[in-house]
Amino acid sequence: MQKKTLLKNGLRGVLPRIFASWITVLALFALRYPYDILTLERTDAIGLLPFLITVLLVFLILTLLSLFHRADPINKAVLILSSTLYASVVAYSSASVLTAAVAVCVLFLLFWYCLSGRKKPFRALPAPLCFGASVAAGIFFAVFVGTVTVLRYRCFASPNYDFGIFCNMFYHMKKEFLPIVSSERDKLLSHFAIHISPVYYLILPFYMLFPSPVTLQVAQAVILASGVIPVYFLSKKLGFSGKTAFLFCFLYSLYPALSGGCMYDIHENCFLTPLLLFLFLFAEEKKTVPMLLFAFLTLTVKEDAAVYVAFFALFLLLAKRRTRDGVILLSMAVVWFFGATALLEHYGEGVMNYRYSNYFTGDGNMVTVLLNVIKNPSLVLKTVFTVERLEFILLMLLPLAFLPFFVKRKPARLLLVCPFLLVNLMPDYVYQYSIYFQYVFGSTAFLIYAAMLNVSDSKARQKRTLPALCAVASLVLFLSSTAQRGYLMTTYQTGKENFAKMEEALQTIPKDATVKASTFLIAHIANRDEVYVITSEHDTDYIAIDLYHTGENSAKRDAALQNDENYLCTVHLDGLLSIYQKKGS
């Protein structure tokens, strides 16, 4: 009887075991040759006989395991792990979003086969372990993003627009408690004349303790990493297990747009994701006071942050049927938006309506945009559905398995997708439909929340399967996109000595001197009252020219200043930089 049971276990699931063995061997070879696995030369170098023998060995090992345990869970576990590993290596090696997207689609099919059975294929995990793993995912995000963005600064890869601006602004905030900046509009003015962002003052205490541009980069990473906290508790509030809550936190930490949005250095938008997620959490818990507090904090991020609060207010009104909370939030958003834009129009530099100029001719505003869209919605279709936006849409929605759109019989939930459409897809401003700029942070919070809500309404099998699919999709797309920025580690190690020389040379400029400098130098000398871009008409005490980068006509400027009798060259590092002092200053 025992022999028959063993034989039955061994014969069960032969075809899945063969497939799992093949995928496992592919993953092993991919790990062995990660950087050239996609080349024809490497493929030719893999002998057919050794390949088949390795597949056979893996098959025999899996068969032996199946004799003493249920074959189905073993085959599925191996298939999940090996296919994820193989897809991850291929995605990282190819650095192609489209290649990664195809791999994700294949993984979706495999995961659906492995996880959508009636019985749970894996045991539940202890709650403390799930919470600890979720925190670890957030720590990974903070370390990765913090490292990459700090290296951007150390490698002189962070330009004045926008990192140099914020370095100079925080210097003035520390000194005068005012967001004054000189290099933004070529004059001393408040940054709040450009964008009304009092939320920056939340970073100021840490900057006062550690007054360095590095602090700003690390702050952005930590602020976004804190989003795993509301994601975890939102998951628990929506009835998910600890394991599923971890999967959502894992998804959050590897979501390409979150790490990608940090790659152009710190911006106030980084506050949007965690603040909005906390807003959603307290709204779900029906805790009015903290909900209103986080709505207010969201509004302080920027004048257009009111759009996010307004859409969530409409969601509460129409989807949740919570009239009082919806009306209060909508009123807050409307008052803030029109108040902030009026201040910018009358006392600041105006509202940046030009980003929607594809919806109006001549002078126009958001009301004009709305009216033109109502009259002719084909303008939206023409703008949104283009080949150049395809990669962006995949990076934003494929990690979520397009779940924000699966609203079943609750169409009001599509309001949660509207910020993505309005802020990212409708404008003809290229930076707003790229994951490598800050405009994705607000819509990301909405998309993740929408996906979680739709999964919470699904059947038990789908609740087990969909979060795992999304987590793995995020991993694969992260490796094909944002993870590629790890090249900065090599760049820094290679050029460390030159970067140190440049830093040392820039420190020779007196702190009380006014300076004009090339864009990639400004962040490194922004700790002063006045610093301007090199094209400025201001008459300054010093001029610093970047020779490390080839743009900005640096060589011509350097040659011109060498022959200018009004300036004295105080530092010249060939191929790196030159510093000139105005005579008599």
User: What pLDDT, in 10s, does the model give residues 290-312?
Assistant: 999 999 999 999 999 999 999 99
- Of 154-158, 169-173, 550-554, least confident by mean pLDDT is 550-554
User: Can you give the residue range of the structural domain that contains 25?
Assistant: 2-94
Q: What is the mean pLDDT of the chain?
A: 90
Is the Cα dihedral 105, 110, 114, 118 positive or negative?
positive
Task: Based on the fold, state whether residues 405 and 467 are members of the same structural domain.
Answer: yes
Check residue 545 and give its pLDDT: 95
Task: Based on the fold, state whether residues 429 and 538 are members of the same structural domain.
Answer: no
User: What pLDDT, in 10s, does the model give residues 250-306?
Assistant: 999 999 999 999 999 999 999 999 999 999 999 999 999 999 999 999 999 999 999
Instruction: Tell me, yes or no, whether 258 lies in a domain.
Output: yes
- Of 18-27, 119-128, 315-324, least confident by mean pLDDT is 119-128
- Of 120-124, 353-357, 482-486, least confident by mean pLDDT is 120-124
Residues in the chain: 585
Task: Based on the fold, state whether residues 511 and 448 are members of the same structural domain.
Answer: no
Task: Based on the fold, state whether residues 316 and 454 are members of the same structural domain.
Answer: yes
Check residue 370 and give its pLDDT: 78
What kind and span of H or E run contains 515?
A: strand 515-517
Q: Name residues whose C-beta falls within 8 Å of residue 33's C-beta, 6 or more positions apart in sequence.
A: 42
Instruction: Tell me, yes or no, whether 272 lies in a domain.
Output: yes
CA distance 253 to 424: 21
Tokens read off for 212: 């360095």
What kind and span of H or E run contains 495?
A: helix 487-506
Check residue 194 and give its pLDDT: 94
Number of folded domains in the chain? 3
What kind and span of H or E run contains 50?
A: helix 48-68
Nearest of 51, 11, 9, 59 to residue 32 by alpha carbon: 51
Pairing mode, strands 542-546 and 577-582: antiparallel
- State the burial class of residue 356 (Cβ atoms within 10 Å of its Cβ: 0-12, 13-18, 19+): buried
Quick check: 373 and 359 in contact, CB under 8 A?
yes
Instruction: Tell me, yes or no, whether 279 lies in a domain.
Output: yes
Q: End of a domain among 469, 484, 499?
A: 484
Residue type, 566: N
CA distance 167 to 522: 9
Q: End of a domain among 451, 484, 517?
A: 484
Task: Based on the fold, state whether residues 319 and 435 are members of the same structural domain.
Answer: yes
Has residue 484 got a pLDDT over 90?
yes
Quick check: 506 and 513 in contact, CB under 8 A?
no
Tokens read off for 200: 């920056």
DSSP states of 274-338:
HHHHHHHHHHHTT-HHHHHHHHHHHHTT-GGGHHHHHHHHHHHHHTS--HHHHHHHHHHHHHHHH
Is the Cα dihedral 292, 141, 305, 320 positive or negative?
negative
CA distance 194 to 446: 26
CA distance 273 to 223: 9
Number of CB atoms found within 10 A of residue 553's CB: 14
Task: Based on the fold, state whether residues 424 and 564 are members of the same structural domain.
Answer: no
- State the burial class of residue 384 (Cβ atoms within 10 Å of its Cβ: 0-12, 13-18, 19+): middle
Farthest CA pair distance, the chain: 102
Instruction: Tell me, yes or no, whether 402 lies in a domain.
Output: yes
Task: Based on the fold, state whether residues 466 and 403 are members of the same structural domain.
Answer: yes
Instruction: Tell me, yes or no, whether 171 lies in a domain.
Output: no
Nearest of 540, 549, 524, 532 to residue 580 by alpha carbon: 540
Task: Based on the fold, state whether residues 263 and 410 are members of the same structural domain.
Answer: yes
Tokens read off for 119: 């019985």
Check residue 1 and give its pLDDT: 43
Q: End of a domain among 39, 74, 94?
A: 94
What backbone torsions phi and psi does residue 14 show, to the nearest 5 degrees?
A: -65, -50
Task: Based on the fold, state whether residues 310 and 438 are members of the same structural domain.
Answer: yes
Check residue 10 and give its pLDDT: 46
Is the Cα dihedral 400, 401, 402, 404 positive or negative?
negative
Q: Is the peptide bond before 162 cis (omega within 30 degrees of 0)?
A: yes
pLDDT bracket for residue 391 (50, 70, 90) = very high
CA distance 197 to 509: 31
Check residue 9 and give its pLDDT: 47
Task: Based on the fold, state whether residues 331 and 474 are members of the same structural domain.
Answer: yes
Instruction: Tell me, yes or no, whether 185 lies in a domain.
Output: no
Quick check: 557 and 482 in contact, CB under 8 A?
no
Span 471-490, average pLDDT: 94
What backbone torsions phi and psi does residue 515 show, to the nearest 5 degrees?
A: -140, 140
CA distance 441 to 226: 13
Span 19-35, average pLDDT: 84
Instruction: Tell me, yes or no, whether 21 lies in a domain.
Output: yes
User: What pLDDT, in 10s, does the model give residues 441-474?
Assistant: 999 999 999 999 999 998 888 888 899 999 999 9
Check residue 13 and give its pLDDT: 67
Q: SS3 of 116, please?
A: coil
Task: Based on the fold, state whether residues 437 and 540 are members of the same structural domain.
Answer: no
Instruction: Tell me, yes or no, whether 460 lies in a domain.
Output: yes
CA distance 424 to 257: 12
Task: Based on the fold, state whether residues 315 and 453 are members of the same structural domain.
Answer: yes
In this prediction, what percent of the chain has a pLDDT beyond 90?
Answer: 67
